[in-house]
Amino acid sequence: MAIDPQSLGYETPPIEFNYTWRDTVVYALGVGASPEEELDYLYEGRGPKVLPTFCTIPTFAAFDALVDRIGCDRRGMVHHAQQMDVFKPLRPNARLRVTGRVTGLYDLKRMAFSVFEIDAYDEDHDLIIRGEVTLLLRFDGGFGGDRPPKTERVVLPEREPDFETRDLVAPTQALLYRLSGDYNPLHADPDFAIEAGFEKPILHGLCTYGYAGRAVVKGACGGDADKLRTLRGQFSSVVFPGDTLIVRGWNEGERVILGVTTEERPDALCLSNACAAVR
C-alpha cells in the first residue's frame, strides 16, 4: 500500500467519545500520578480533577481513521511529534464529538511525514481540545509530495532550570498506560519489541508526554492544571519501564522550555524541541 496524495485535506466524520471519571483516574495512574502529591486526580471524592494531557486520549479513534485513509505502511509508522492545545478545563465526565483532518503530507523520498489535526467539541459545542500529531513514515517516501517545512528548534537555556522532577517509571507502567487505549504490542510483548529492534518493550511516547505535562503543572502552574494551555515536543529517544525520567523546565515568560531525559541515558533527550504555554 502506498501513500495516497489525494488524502491531503481529508476530514473524518464526527466520532463520539464518552468518558467518565474512572477513565481520567486510570490515565492519571498511567502517567505516574501519586497519591502523596496528586490525590485530586486519583480520587473521585475530590472531583476528580483531570490532567490536561488526558486530552490526547479522545483522539485515538480519529487518528486510526486518518492512518487508514492516507494508506501508509503501519509497520514503518513512528510517532514523531505531538502538540496539544486545551481551550477549556476538562471535566471528569463528558461526551465529546471528535473530528480529524490530514493537514500535511510531505515527501522525503525514502521516507515521508504526515500531519494530522484532531479537534474535540464538548456538549456545549465549544472547541475544547486540538491535537496535532506528526508521523514519520519510514516505508512510504517517493510519492511525489512536497518537502516538509522547517520547524522551530527549541534550544535549552544555558542556566540552571527553574524546576526539576524525577520519577521512577514503574516496570508495569506501560502495561498500565495502555489501558487508556493505546494497545500497540511494542509496549507489552517482549517478542514483538525484539522484532522491532528493541531489547524489551518500551514506554509509550505519549506516556512520557504525560509525565512532562505533570511536571509543568507542578513546576510552572503552581499545581493548577487549568493553567497549562499548550504542550508540544518531539519523541527523540526511547524510555524503558524501570528508567528514572527527569523533566527540567525553564520559565521564559509565558513559555516554558523543557528538557526531558532519563537518569540511565542523561545525554539523550527523549522529548526534544519541547515547550509549554501557560495561562
Residues involved in catalysis: 182, 187, 202, 205
Task: Report the relative pairing of strands 94-107 and 163-168 from DSSP bridges.
Answer: unpaired
Ordered strands of the 112-121 beta sheet: 15-19, 94-107, 112-121, 127-137, 77-86, 228-235, 271-278, 255-262, 244-252, 163-168
3-state per-residue secondary structure call for 227-264:
HEEEEEEEECCCCCCCCEEEEEEEEECCEEEEEEEECC
Instruction: Return the exposure string of 130-161: e unless at least 16 CB atoms fall within 10 Å of the residue's CB, then b.
Output: bbbbbbbbbbbbebebeebeeeeebeeeeeeb
Backbone angles phi, psi at 72, to 5 degrees: -80, 165
What is the distance between the alpha carbons of residues 232 and 83, in angstroms, rounded to a whole number? 4
What is the distance between the alpha carbons of residues 89 and 206, in angstroms, rounded to a whole number? 20
